[in-house]
A and B are shown apart, each in its own frame.
Chain A
């Protein structure tokens, strides 16, 4: 039983950690491209900013779904035998 709880704790940490890794690298790459584009064509800055926020939401999606699942494991653990 403690074994299961230990593994679940590890799983929650891995889900959040690896998800954060992917999300942050993705946002970093997208943000740097946006800054480059804004520096080249400042008149497109506002339009691109709208699209950038949209993309940020899409990139964060899988990570936040993972955080939701990890929180579920942490507080309403489905692997615990009643």
Chain B
């Protein structure tokens, strides 16, 4: 916990302290693009490089015949993503890009999500041990529990969808579709069609990013609450049941969260494929 405070931390303070990002300056308005969450960027880039390096290592030493364990695991992963991509995106030309995109999205989000399984105070303990405590007071270890990260990824998927819309249908064809689908090609329906298409794009992108954020944020917060339960139980003699309870609750929630971590990465990947596949559909 914070080594610099003299008064006792209340429960709200503990949670509040753990919810602040390492930012370059404080956020004053609701949408401020000059505020950068340094911990999110640092961790997401590091985990991305780690994932890429791991896949590259396995790809370099791939050999036919009996595969090693690493190669078998990566092959299973590849087969899963490939079968999903083949089922959803029918265009083989697009699959050359979208397939690897889906794999990247899955591996990267899985790595970022699994940072949630580390102990809650681990980041702060490492900072305290290495003495960086005075400079870095806040650090959030889960990049996908940051709305900026998840919405950024879903905006990237939106851009890919827009690109494929224009590529497959042509700019004129796509513009025509924006005004004539889903209700029909009558001139008086044009405004309604356009409105519906805009709402569809916005809702898909926002829900895509918010779903991942909500799952990870709620999971992280629950871990913090369980840690708080343990801390409170540890401090008092009568709180021993809280401490025992915190061990059971923590174990149970961590095991369930392993499922959530994988599932959310899988869902993000599947929806990426589905949205890009929808960009190939003609109305």
Q: How far is the CB of A61 from chain B (nearest CB, A)?
A: 4
Q: Counting CB contacts under 8 A, is B214 at the interface?
A: yes
Q: How far is the CB of B154 from chain A (nearest CB, A)?
A: 12
Chain A residues, CB < 8 A from B270: 54
Is the Cβ of B218 less than 8 Å from the Cβ of A71?
yes
Count class of interface residues, chain A: 10 to 19
Query: Roughly how many angstroms separate A58 CA and B221 CA in the complex, as a whole number?
Result: 21
Q: How many A-B pairs with Cβ below 8 Å? A: 44
Q: Counting CB contacts under 8 A, is A75 at the interface?
A: yes
Is the Cβ of B266 less than 8 Å from the Cβ of A64?
no
Chain A residues, CB < 8 A from B263: 53, 56-57
Secondary structure at chain B's binding surface: helix, strand, loop or mixed? helix
Query: Roughly how many angstroms separate A60 CA and B219 CA in the complex, as a whole number?
Result: 13
Taking CB as reference atom, which chain A residue is nearest B11?
Answer: A75
Q: How far is the CB of B281 from chain A (nearest CB, A)?
A: 19
Query: Roughly how many angstroms separate A58 CA and B214 CA in the complex, as a whole number?
Result: 12
Against B, the Cβ 8 Å flags (1 = close, 0 = not) of A52-82 are 0110111011001111100100011000000
Q: How far is the CB of B117 from chain A (nearest CB, A)?
A: 18
Q: How far is the CB of B215 from chain A (nearest CB, A)?
A: 5
- The residue among B16, B19, B213, B217 with the most chain A CB atoms within 10 A of its own CB is B217
Query: Roughly how many angstroms separate A60 CA and B267 CA in the complex, as a whole number?
Result: 11
Chain A residues, CB < 8 A from B211: 57-58, 61, 64-65
